[in-house]
Structure 1
């Protein structure tokens, strides 16, 4: 029986900076929707393995390194083709094949990875952020204060990697809390050790918080392709450092 999912919010580091930068850049992010960027869902697979997904030929590896954070909002020209998994989550088709190989291998070795979050539409991010603002206003905060507080827990729309379609939150079925205890599960330890072999990196490492601006998240993985993932793994840098020194 699948464990009940419980998600614990994580405080975002440098939240005031994220709020100010994010709100300035939110207009550009909205262009992702208004400007006509199309997200095309692939056919729903019969199971998580899916079918009919061709090999990623001609993928622009540099595009897979796209940074999205407070200083780098969602590109207005960003496009991706989405494939839906059997649990309703969506992933950029360029990451699909490697994701399935990683999940299949983990399960074959006795682990229990579960994708609890992946692609998130801009509208969904706006809704989540607005809901958080309203919760603080009900506690007596002013509009401005509520927005700053909300930005500590929910990414300002246009600054969340989940809007790319290349980011995933993967947990262990036995522990579905988004908290640091996740790193102690055998499943998460396997993922952190082997994810680079399948083109993924642990996006927000423990020792890079001052660079990424995000607290340690031992469940948040980002697809960058196998070559880049291996280089990042071997050099011990985070994505911001890797992109800056290319």
Structure 2
């Protein structure tokens, strides 16, 4: 009698019916499936994040470990190119050709810092900076559009520096004008001039010419419509000292033709008008 009573179910825990047992089993399986889905989703997100970080870091590592990078400029088929000297993108502004009227370019931010260029130039710069970043080169826009007042201030500051060094007014004026164009002669007011440096090199000096960023620009900037405005070997034609950070937007086809010619903007337009 005692043994028979010991086999009874404990009070307070009624036996589950088959349907209740199956329902509980299904709920457990659903929880298990849900937990696995959440786990795998988390793993997928982690893998995606790691992949993104690797893809971002790889070019940086290559640039750091590989030392000096060399870039080969493409060859261009210019058989169908015809220069239009009156193309607005080819406007020539220098110390001998001052602006006849103040430009009013449509401007746009060319980078996340808000530096402005003429709208087409801004779009081209963004595309160029993105392409450079793919090989670990982080371009930095150090200057862009200037108002006439800002251009005046830039020239005056440069000239004053030479006056402070003891130069005569005429000497200081001539020296400053070979570095910063005189007021009314500065193409920065068109919005087409871009002063480009790179992360890790933020000084506007000729040392920039020995950076991977400059070598990349020298090879590929024409594909985005930019030319080196004052090349080292064209100083007699431009009247300006070599400034490896000073680039000018002229449009892709014009830039490619100018790059292939090896001429400065002054020379290129002079030859085109004679053709």
TM beyond 0.5: yes
2: CA distance, partners of 1:139 / 1:189: 34
2: CA distance, partners of 1:204 / 1:133: 20
Q: What is the RMSD of the two structures over their aligned residues, measured on CA atoms?
A: 2.3
From 192, 210, 222, the counterpart of 1:166: 192
From 201, 215, 236, the counterpart of 2:241: 215
- The alpha-carbon distance between structure 1 residues 174 and 141, as it changes in their structure 2 partners (threshold 3 A), is closer
Aligned 8 A contact 1:61 1:224 in 2: no
Where is the helix percentage greater, Structure 1 or Structure 2? 2
Matched, 1:198 2:193: no
Please list the CA deviations of residues 141-196 of structure 1 after superposition, one character each: whole Å capped at 9, or x if unmatched.
Answer: 66656545543543211111211110111112112222222111111111110000
Q: Displacement of 1:213 after TM fit?
A: 0.8
- 1:100 alignment partner in structure 2: 126
- 1:74 alignment partner in structure 2: 99
- The alpha-carbon distance between structure 1 residues 146 and 218, as it changes in their structure 2 partners (threshold 3 A), is closer
Higher RCO, Cα 8 Å, sep 6+: 1
Residues 169-184 of structure 1 aligned to structure 2 (within 5 Å): 169-184=195-210
2: CA distance, partners of 1:72 / 1:176: 30
- 2:154 alignment partner in structure 1: 128
- TM-score relative to the length of structure 1: 0.68
Q: Select the structure of larger CA radius of gyration.
A: 2
- 1:235 alignment partner in structure 2: 261
**Count of matched residue pairs:** 187
Q: Displacement of 1:138 after TM fit?
A: 5.6
* 3-state SS in 2 of match to 1:80: coil
- 1:18 alignment partner in structure 2: none
